[in-house]
Structure formats: C-alpha cells, structure tokens
Amino acid sequence: LALPRAEAGEASAQTLIAEIYSKGLGVAQNSERAAGWYQLAAKNGDLLATFELGMLYQDGVGVTQDRKRAAELFTEAADKGYIPAKYNLALLHVEGIYADPSLITAASLMKEAAEAELPEAQYDYGSMLIEGAGVAPNATEGARYIGLAAEQNLLAAQIDYATLLYLGQGIARDLEGAVTWYQRAAEGGNPVAQNRLAKLVAVGEGTTLDLETAAMWRALARRQGLSDPSLDRLLVSIPADALAKAEERARFWPSTPPSVETIATIPTTPKVYGPPLPAPTDMENAPSRVVLPSGGETEATPENAVPSAPADAAPPAADTPDAAQNP
C-alpha cells in the first residue's frame, strides 16, 4: 500500500519504504536503497527522512561518509523544529569540527531538546548545568534534569542520579534513594551500577547488609570486566557456601536458579524475506546509492544519539577500567 503512494511522491510513504529497507522489515536489509528513499523523502520535506539521512551520512552507512553533509541535514531539520536533529546538532557544536565550536549554542539547542523530553538531551543538559558548560552553573537544575532522564530509563542518567543522591549534590542526600537508582541501573545490566550497588549492600549503607547479595552483584560486574580489588578482598571473607550461592545466583541472573537442572531446546526458524521492493522509479532524483565527492572524513563517528557521559562526580574509590567513581 505504501509503495504506490511513495512512487506518486508522498513523502511520508517514501520515508516508510526507507525505514523498511533500513531495518530489514520483511525484506533483505539494504542501506543503500534506504538512503535513496530517505533522500527522495527529504527533498519532499519529510523531517524524519532529513534527520535519518543525516545519520547515514554521519556514520557512512549506505552512503559515502560525509559529516559536513550530516551537519547540514541536521541543521535543516533542527531549524524546522525536529527535536532529535537539535540534539545531534548540539553535539556537533560541542565537538566544534563540522559545526561552529560553541558551548553556548550547544547548551541552547540541548535545552530545547531537553524541554521536549528527549532523555539523552535531559541528561546532557543536566550535566552541562552542573559543569557550567555553555551555561551558568546550577547544580539543583542539573540534578533535576538528570533525574528526569533517569525516570525515562537512561542508564547513564540513573547511575549519575544515584551518585548525586549519595553525595547530596544539587539535591538532598538520600542513601536509600541512591540504592534504589543504582539497583535500577544494575538490573538494566550496567556493570558500574552493579559494582556500586554491591559496595552499598556489602556495608549496609542505605539498605540492609547482605554479603551474599553483594557478592552476586559483584560477580555480575566482574564478568563484564570491571575490576575492584578492594571489594573482592572484602567479599572473599564471606562463608564459602554463601559465596557459592552468590555465584549461582549470578550465573542464572536475572532468573532464579532452578531447583532441578533442566535443559530446554529452543527451536530456531530461518529468516524468511518477502519479495524485494523496487527501487524508486525516478532514479535521477532517488538513486539506490547516494554517491558523494571523494574526501569524506574517515575518522570514527560518535554513537547515534548517545551522549558522552560527563565526568562522574562520585564518592572516593574508582571502579576500573571505566574510570567512574563509586560509593
């Protein structure tokens, strides 16, 4: 149904076809064809297509990498009010290579995206407020924005918000609240949160002391490569049976260890693709591969819409190798 409308020039239908190719929804994934359809939809004024085409240029997926062109597309979509484009453009202003280096401009764009409830922007803008980057320092507002991002399940924000609660930075000190947020991030699989939660549980700070549970969280963090010799020395002193139970709980986490071992065979089915969708009919305006002049940047690009974590203000003793601090 979307294809006839797309071929008739309907921008939203063209974007839908691009999404189908980009994600491989019922067809073989084809980033080049996705780029072609995104380009056609962008020419017809679709802001989502403009933004997504910018992301393809930024990462060099389906097109020759050209971060300058990506910045132009982000600017075009941002000027028309597209929130994710404002966020990505803010990051480029922070980087200062493919957009004018300006923390003030970045903070302004970040605030707009944060007020539109984009969690990554809430987290980054909160961090800018705490650090006074491009904006007057305001720890209280910074903590509030980071808390909003934490509520939207952004793991990095949950960890930082827990740390702010632990320290009482920009917000009233709340050890139980810190435990709650570390646990939410730990249950999301983050090793830093798992390790910090283990420390608090191991000493009964903000929660009931439980060495077995602490050892379980520590085991989960250790399996992801997080080193903490001091915590390991503390937990190795617990009874051997409790340590064995902790390791077993970690092995089956997040499920409960079964009382009787069972082996389940999970059937697999081959991926079946539907018939391929045709390329755009107007190949001059919507090529299946967008080719740019040579000379595009080859350096690694930032992860899509994932903010870089700010310096983690935390209690003494650093988790390694991630250089974040711990309670």
Domain containing residue 51: CATH number = 1.25.40.10
At residue 72, what are phi and psi to the nearest 5 degrees? -65, -40
A 10 A CB-CB count for 178 gives 26
* Domain end point (choices 66, 85, 104): 85
In a domain, 135, yes or no: no
In a domain, 200, yes or no: yes
- Catalogue the long-range contacts made by 52-56 (C-beta closer than 8 Å, 24 or more residues apart): 52/15, 52/18, 52/19, 52/22, 54/85, 54/88, 55/88, 55/304, 56/31
In a domain, 323, yes or no: no
How many structural domains are present in the chain?
2
Q: Where are the alpha helices (DSSP H) in the chain?
A: 2-7, 11-23, 31-43, 47-59, 67-79, 83-95, 103-115, 119-131, 139-151, 155-167, 175-187, 191-203, 211-223, 229-235, 240-252
* Domain end point (choices 51, 85, 119): 85
In a domain, 165, yes or no: no
In a domain, 49, yes or no: yes
- What is the pTM assigned to this prediction? 0.76
Smallest CA-to-CA distance from 64 within 222, 271, 241, 291 is with: 291
Tokens 């997926």 belong to which residue? 61
Which pLDDT value is given to residue 324?
A: 40
In a domain, 230, yes or no: yes
Which pLDDT value is given to residue 266?
A: 46
In a domain, 34, yes or no: yes
* Domain end point (choices 35, 59, 85): 85
The whole-angstrom distance between residue 16's C-alpha and the CA centroid of its chain comes to: 24
Domain that holds residue 235: 189-256
Cα pseudo-dihedral 40, 119, 123, 216, rounded to 10: -120
Which pLDDT value is given to residue 237?
A: 86
Question: Can you give the pLDDT of all 327 residues of the chain as single tens digits?
Answer: 788 899 999 999 999 999 999 999 999 999 999 999 999 999 999 999 999 999 999 999 999 999 999 999 999 999 999 999 999 999 999 999 999 999 999 999 999 999 999 999 999 999 999 999 999 999 999 999 999 999 999 999 999 999 999 999 999 999 999 999 999 999 999 999 999 999 999 999 999 999 999 999 999 999 999 999 999 998 988 999 999 999 999 999 987 666 544 444 444 544 544 445 545 544 444 434 333 333 443 333 333 333 343 334 344 344 544 434 445
The whole-angstrom distance between residue 30's C-alpha and the CA centroid of its chain comes to: 24
In a domain, 290, yes or no: no
Which pLDDT value is given to residue 301?
A: 37
63 DSSP β-pair partners? 290
